[in-house]
Chains A and B, each alone.
Chain A
Amino acid sequence: KNEVEQSPQNLTAQEGEFITINCSYSVGISALHWLQQHPGGGIVSLFMLSSGKKKHGRLIATINIQEKHSSLHITASHPRDSAVYICAVTDRRALTFGSGTRLQVQP
């Protein structure tokens, strides 16, 4: 079993829809990261959180430490949000990554 599981693997939405991507992990962590990978391959960090909730523009990330679960929400989705969203957790060495959620937002 992978240490970091994401769902869904693929997601297609219409522009304007509210989107939720889920991440569950099975190990103790000090922080959880949400990352965005565009088709060219470059990765950008969206959030790093260890408790509660963070918001940046239309993106909201939440984490429940007791349940070992995090969600990434996108409000009023737009075609430019189309990308792969990756959940990762810190261990003592580096990051352990989920396999990603491929999001396609159609106009």
Chain B
Amino acid sequence: DGGITQSPKYLFRKEGQNVTLSCEQNLNHDAMYWYRQDPGQGLRLIYYSQIVNDFQKGDIAEGYSVSREKKESFPLTVTSAQKNPTAFYLCASTGTGDPLAKNIQYFGAGTRLSVL
């Protein structure tokens, strides 16, 4: 079935460690997004990519990095510079055309990151 796969479901990070969250989609969508969710808060945009080999910072990009080498993959690295990484991370994608106005965003199941 078509969809978005995020892995792992749970991830633990040690102090000073970089960790990478995987997001893969087989929907042939051009645009992909990473959001962070903290308890009691709305989702906030970390990074987004509207086409392969191009990505843009969102509202809370500091301490994170991404790559978009393939259309179907948009991994997120949480670097040691991110001092408060504990959160729920969601990946999403939308189709082509006018992606934001016309197409619905599809979400992965999320990755819950905790600091050891």
Given contacts A45-B106, A93-B48, A94-B58, are A30 and B42 in contact (CB under 8 A)? no
Interface check A76, CB cutoff 8 A? no
Please indicate the chain B residues that have their CB under 8 angstroms from the CB of A40 in the complex.
Answer: 109
Is B40 at the interface (CB under 8 A from chain A)?
yes
- Residues of chain B lying within 8 A (CB to CB) of residue A61: none
| Docked-complex contact A31 and B42, CB < 8 angstroms | no
B107 x A4 contact (CB < 8 A): no
Residues of A within 8 A of B88 (CB): 41
A99-B90 contact, Cβ under 8 Å, with A42-B110, A90-B100, A94-B45:
no
The residue that A99 contacts in the complex, of B41, B104, B112, with Cβ under 8 A, is B41
The 7 closest A-B pairs by CB, nearest first: A97-B42, A30-B101, A43-B107, A41-B110, A90-B100, A97-B43, A99-B42
Q: Interface extent on B, as a size class? A: 20 to 34
Q: Mark A1-31, 1 if CB is under 8 A from B, else 0.
A: 0101000000000000000000000000011
Instruction: Name B residues whose Cβ lies closer than 8 Å to a Cβ of A.
Output: 33, 35, 37, 40-45, 48, 56, 58, 88, 90, 92, 100-102, 104-110, 112
In the complex, A21→B42 CA distance in Å?
A: 16
Please, could you name 17 A-B residue pairs with CB atoms under 8 Å apart, sorted by A?
Answer: A2-B42, A31-B100, A33-B104, A43-B107, A44-B107, A45-B105, A45-B106, A86-B42, A88-B43, A90-B101, A93-B100, A94-B35, A94-B45, A94-B100, A95-B92, A98-B42, A99-B41
**A106 in the interface (beta carbon within 8 A):** no
A5 CB → nearest B CB, Å: 10
A10 to chain B, nearest CB (A): 11
Q: Do B100 and A92 touch across chains, with their CB atoms under 8 A apart?
A: yes
